[in-house]
Structure 1
Amino acid sequence: MRALVLGATGQIGRFLLPELLAQGFVIEAVSRQAQPAREGVTWSRFDLYAGGDAATAPDVVFSTGPLDGLLAWLGRTRHRPERIVAFSSTSAETKRDSPDAGERELAANLARAEAALEAFCEARRIGWTILRPTLVYGCGLDANLSRIAALARRWRVVPLSIDAVGLRQPVHAQDLAACAVRAAMRPQSAQRHYDLGGGEALSYREMVQRTVACIRPRGYLVLLPAWLFDGLMQTVSRFHAMSGAGRGVVERMRRDMVFDNAAAARDLDWNPRPYRPGAADFPNA
């Protein structure tokens, strides 16, 4: 089968290429920048939003980047794949009622893009699968756990509210890549969404503790009273001293955000690893 990989240099894409090679796919990978030669992979250089097209007709398209980029390419391509496997995010649900307007807009945009992709594929009889992972980590390119790792590497200590005990399910990008390949090869996953949480649910506090502990030299978690931590984050946010410190982020630390993996386990053999990070998971932090 011929596979087209959009977002091939991103955190899921870089794990997806070896998974596809192992399954015998013929791969065309898309990047905006020139990439070093790689056996078994043909690179095409173009911007999904600005123009350009795949060199050959793909049987299946894997989209690991923004959904609106996939839609922009689909709107102009001369090709009609049989199958599309696209990554979205559980943020479409968790940020829908955020106190931060920017996060609400993100959730709304994700929902609109998912609906637009479904409509496009249904009108053309293309099989589609939308995968919605939770907190993704694995190669230092995410904007959540890698940010925490970066703080630990820079300051050695990471402050956190003592009541940051909402449950989380971090998921490794390599597990997601393998799941995407299975989704493309299984008819029962067509015309379906799947939430993909990691292999264990743990508190936000424990998640941060494991993250900072794996950094070399080791980082340390400092627990603060809720009022002091909230005041610190408000100050940081007001002066734009650190991204990801908005009110919505702080509030979600105290809420459970756990998703049911049962459908993915049934259809896609989804059995992800528990959260046991190592320094290699955050190389660029």
Structure 2
Amino acid sequence: MTVLVFGGSSQIGHYLLPLLAARDEPVVTLSREAHASTQGVTWLSGQLPDAVPKVEDISAIFSLGPLNWFASWLSTAALPHAPRVIVVSSMSAETKQASEVSAERDLSQLIRSSEATVAEACAKHGSAWTVLRPTLIYGVGMDKSLTPIARRAMRLKVFPLPAAGGMRQPVHAQDLAHAALAALDKPAAAGRVLAVGGGERLTVGEMFVRVRRSLPVDTLPLPLPAWLLHLARRSVAGLRGPLSRLEADLVADNTEMMRLLGVQPRPFRPDAECWRS
């Protein structure tokens, strides 16, 4: 039997592929770019949703990339049997549902409708599914939230520190990989949408302070007062969504995830390796 992974080149895949390979079951992962196969992991060239090569004898499927593309493929895929399906979604399904920015509301709706499509497709295939909804992900410099800020600060030698009290709960990609693997082996997690946050809640301001401390170069702190953030929110359309959430609590309740999967995410203690290029 074979485990099929979509999004193996993601930061979650960076940690999940070795864990799967260690289980002595062949792992096949799809990528638009060429990758050299490694012990236990075969990379195939392809692209969701309509350029996926045929893989025989699938025992489980992991989706770590764009959920809408995966949902589209799964809804039309001809699967000969019923694999276990583990999907990594996003807490944006909840946190952006009532955003003042229409594009963010649309994204929230797309995520939720894609989750529903996955559930419907799994029902058709007779597959057991689990959806993981992580908070802000970090780990190996592939995220689009903290890493761009950290790299820009290292380049400019200036680090912005917003005056914001909203709570955050960053989750490490390795902890998500362990949660995804645990979901594969826990029948009780089937048919569940599980929130996954980091092991610590902290304010936006403190989160930025810790990122700055973790950088391998010295940077000049640049405090951004609340009035300036408010002005930017009203004046710059592209910043309206992110700045409007600075005072909002974007956190997850890990109770069910920990009970069902037995995974304890780590607190937010980033180091320079998290922002590597």
Give me the TM-score of the superposition, normalised by structure 2: 0.94
* Unpaired runs of at least 5, structure 1: 239-244
| 2:196–2:254 contact (8 Å) kept in structure 1 | yes
| Cα shift readout 1:199-253 (whole Å, capped 9, x = no counterpart) | 1000001101111221121334322321123334655x45xxxxxx521211111
For residue 69 of structure 1, report the CA deviation from its aligned partner: 1.7
| Cα shift readout 1:38-88 (whole Å, capped 9, x = no counterpart) | 111111111112323233221100000011121232234332442100010
1:37 and 2:30 matched: no
User: What residue number does 1:77 align with?
Assistant: 77
Distance in 2 of aligned mates of 1:274 and 1:6:
28
Root mean square deviation, CA, Å: 1.6
User: What residue number does 2:61 align with?
Assistant: 61
| Larger mean Cα displacement after TM superposition, 53-62 or 260-269 | 53-62
| Larger mean Cα displacement after TM superposition, 48-57 or 24-33 | 48-57
| Cα shift readout 1:145-175 (whole Å, capped 9, x = no counterpart) | 112212211222222332x111111001011
User: What residue number does 1:24 align with?
Assistant: 24
Identity %: 38
* Unpaired runs of at least 5, structure 2: none
| 2:90–2:132 contact (8 Å) kept in structure 1 | yes
User: What residue number does 2:10 align with?
Assistant: 10
User: What residue number does 1:171 align with?
Assistant: 171
| Amino acid in the other structure paired with 2:250 | M
User: What residue number does 2:137 align with?
Assistant: 136
For residue 24 of structure 1, report the CA deviation from its aligned partner: 2.6
| Change in 2 beyond 3 A, CA 1:217/1:233 | farther
Q: 1:275 aligns with which of 248, 255, 268?
A: 268
| Amino acid in the other structure paired with 2:134 | P
1:259 and 2:260 matched: no
| Cα shift readout 1:96-126 (whole Å, capped 9, x = no counterpart) | 1111111111101001101111111123321
| Amino acid in the other structure paired with 1:138 | G
| Change in 2 beyond 3 A, CA 1:202/1:220 | farther
| 1:159–1:229 contact (8 Å) kept in structure 2 | no
Map 1:206-217 to 2 at 5 A.
206-217=206-217
Distance in 2 of aligned mates of 1:75 and 1:118:
9
| Larger mean Cα displacement after TM superposition, 106-115 or 226-235 | 226-235
Distance in 1 of aligned mates of 2:229 and 2:159:
11
For residue 15 of structure 1, report the CA deviation from its aligned partner: 1.1
| 1:213–1:219 contact (8 Å) kept in structure 2 | no
| Amino acid in the other structure paired with 1:62 | F
| 2:232–2:239 contact (8 Å) kept in structure 1 | no
Map 1:239-254 to 2 at 5 A.
246-254=239-247
Partner SS state of residue 250, structure 2: coil
Give me the TM-score of the superposition, normalised by structure 1: 0.92
| Change in 2 beyond 3 A, CA 1:127/1:220 | farther
| 1:85–1:183 contact (8 Å) kept in structure 2 | yes
Distance in 1 of aligned mates of 2:35 and 2:170:
29
User: What residue number does 1:117 align with?
Assistant: 118
| Amino acid in the other structure paired with 1:259 | A
